[in-house]
Structure 1
Amino acid sequence: MHSYLKQILDKKKQEVAALHTNEALTSARNIKFNYTGAFKAALQTDGLSVIAEVKRKSPSKGALATITDPIDLAERYAQGGASAISVLTDAFGFNGSIEDLALIAAHVSCPVLRKDFVIDELQLVEATMRGASAALLIVAVLGDKTAKFIQSCHRFGLDALVEVHNKDELAIAIDAQADIIGVNNRNLETFEVDINNALDLYPAIPSEAVTIAESGIADAHIAQQFKTCGYDAVLIGEALVRSDDPSQFIHQLRERGNDNTA
């Protein structure tokens, strides 16, 4: 396993151990949460949906943006037409926090995705209690536990965005009956990006799944390529946080992504 991912997961195990000392969280595992499917529904539109990400930093590129007011940024995303907001809550690799998610979820009407390295169901309980509608599950991290974690997501009222990077991981996601599948163009072993990854894997994804292309969507032209391929949505972080006008950027993405003549 690449040092970036190993370091993040080693740190995550420490964070999860701390969660198990939180009595409110451990008790909440027994609560019956209402599953609404709001995140999935938000992506099932006729046009290209945009999941706009609040992202301060990445392990490979370092600091991306100084985000002092995550609420303002999320509101600008929503004004631009984002279907959902993705919030990186990992502190070690991405300088995010669960507090960012809670603040944003309380101030925007669109569904919020917790984007983190989930290895324990208490992270899902925490996501629900802080206002998330969905959580990211990474097959490269969970392996054959993916199906169990999808079930846990639904039990705690969350949609599960199941992320894959190659054919083997996609097979696991399909066997786990994932109904929202994201293909990451970033290889978690090398952190290199190749947009052809999502284009190449798309034909193997079941037609009934909601599909999301992730990473490397730097402009509206690339977004249009994924829409033409068949993807329901794109998830964009770096290009948005570096944009001077994220609302207009999202508007352009959706406009170009929905133009089949482009």
Structure 2
Amino acid sequence: MTILDKIIERKKEEVAAAKSRISLDRLKDTSFFGRPTYSLKESISNKSGIIAEFKRQSPSKGIINNNVQPLEVVSAYENSGASGVSILTDHDFFGGDLNDILSVRNDINIPILRKDFMIDEYQFYEAKSIGADVVLLIASCLSPAQVQEFTELAHQLKLEVLLEIHTEDELKHFNSEIDLVGINNRNLKDFKVDLQHSVQLKNQLPKEVLSVAESGIYSLEDFQFLKEKGFDGFLMGEYFMKNTDPAKAFEEFASQI
């Protein structure tokens, strides 16, 4: 089994347990469920284009930063011009939690991407209930039909969709309803990074689609290379989180672009 296979198997167990604890009706009754959402598409077009991530750990890197709190980091991201924030909610593999979004929602006014492995309709209602604005659909663990179905559900809930792809074959998961397409520079199966591969995939997307470069952006040079190649957004986490003070690292980076 690949790491992705293991994550999905565990995710199925997590979702089943969540359904038994909290019903859809209870999710719909939460205070955030009816709130107007922020548009990541608009924010990317109007600000830096950076979706700055809060991430404690990853399967490939282990612990990245376990010593900072979500609010102190993401509020600083916002103050320094981030277009949005990405917050990991997977617990077992990334050290995240739903409360990481709940704890910041009332204090920031930019879009929040719930970054997780979305495999079940329940998770979309869950995302809405904790105050997320955008959900991630990962092509490598969904069929094109599931992507279409989940996109329709997300839009019914007023959530935007970021579709993540990595291979040419996954281009078939794209449909015209998708809000943004993220191209993962890192292969989820072996975790190798290839920026040029991502550029080649981007060039096969319709020109009007907002494209987001994801993962493996380790320097200002990487950022500038991808921007010059036409990417609109940049999902960056480890570059900032590996620092003792991620907020300061983002501020310094933002001042150079």
Instruction: State whether TM-score is above 0.5.
Output: yes
Displacement after TM superposition at 1:156 (Å): 1.4
Displacement after TM superposition at 1:182 (Å): 0.2
Larger proportion of helix? 1
* Deviations, residues 81-136 of structure 1 (Å, cap 9, x unaligned): 11101000000110101110111222211110000000011111111110100010
* Deviations, residues 158-215 of structure 1 (Å, cap 9, x unaligned): 1000000011112221x36423100001111112222222222121111121110001
User: Are the structure 2 counterparts of residues 137 and 208 from structure 1 closer, same or farther at C-alpha, using a change threshold of 3 Å?
Assistant: same
SS at match of 2:104: helix
Aligned to 1:150: 151
Aligned to 1:10: 9
| Distance in 2 of aligned mates of 1:249 and 1:177 | 35
| Distance in 2 of aligned mates of 1:99 and 1:251 | 25
Displacement after TM superposition at 1:3 (Å): 2.4
Aligned to 2:205: 205
Q: Is the 8 A contact 2:38 2:111 kept in 1?
A: no
Displacement after TM superposition at 1:219 (Å): 1.4
Q: Which moved more, 1:193-202 or 1:209-218?
A: 193-202
SS at match of 2:103: helix
- Structure 2 residue runs of 5 or longer lacking an equivalent are none
Say what the alpha-carbon RMSD is for the aligned residues. 2.2
Q: Is the 8 A contact 1:49 1:254 kept in 2?
A: no
Off by >3 Å, runs of 4+ in structure 1:
26-37, 244-257
The aligned amino acid for 1:182 is G
1:164-203 equivalences in 2 (<5 Å): 164-173=165-174, 175=175, 177-203=177-203
| Distance in 1 of aligned mates of 2:25 and 2:170 | 30
User: Are the structure 2 counterparts of residues 255 and 168 from structure 1 closer, same or farther at C-alpha, using a change threshold of 3 Å?
Assistant: farther
Aligned to 2:133: 133
Count of aligned pairs:
254
| Distance in 2 of aligned mates of 1:99 and 1:132 | 11
User: Are the structure 2 counterparts of residues 34 and 170 from structure 1 closer, same or farther at C-alpha, using a change threshold of 3 Å?
Assistant: farther
SS at match of 2:207: coil
User: Are the structure 2 counterparts of residues 93 and 236 from structure 1 closer, same or farther at C-alpha, using a change threshold of 3 Å?
Assistant: same
Aligned to 1:39: 40
| Distance in 1 of aligned mates of 2:4 and 2:67 | 24
The aligned amino acid for 1:93 is F
- Structure 1 residue runs of 5 or longer lacking an equivalent are 258-262
| Distance in 2 of aligned mates of 1:166 and 1:256 | 31
1:57 aligns with 2:62: no
Aligned to 1:260: none
Q: Is the 8 A contact 2:38 2:110 kept in 1?
A: no
1:109 aligns with 2:109: yes
1:224 aligns with 2:238: no
Q: Which moved more, 1:194-203 or 1:138-147?
A: 194-203
| Distance in 2 of aligned mates of 1:106 and 1:30 | 17
* Deviations, residues 226-245 of structure 1 (Å, cap 9, x unaligned): 11111111000111101345
Displacement after TM superposition at 1:256 (Å): 4.6
SS at match of 2:211: strand
| Distance in 2 of aligned mates of 1:186 and 1:218 | 12
Give the alignment's TM-score, normalised by structure 1: 0.89
Displacement after TM superposition at 1:224 (Å): 0.9
The aligned amino acid for 1:58 is S
SS at match of 1:101: helix
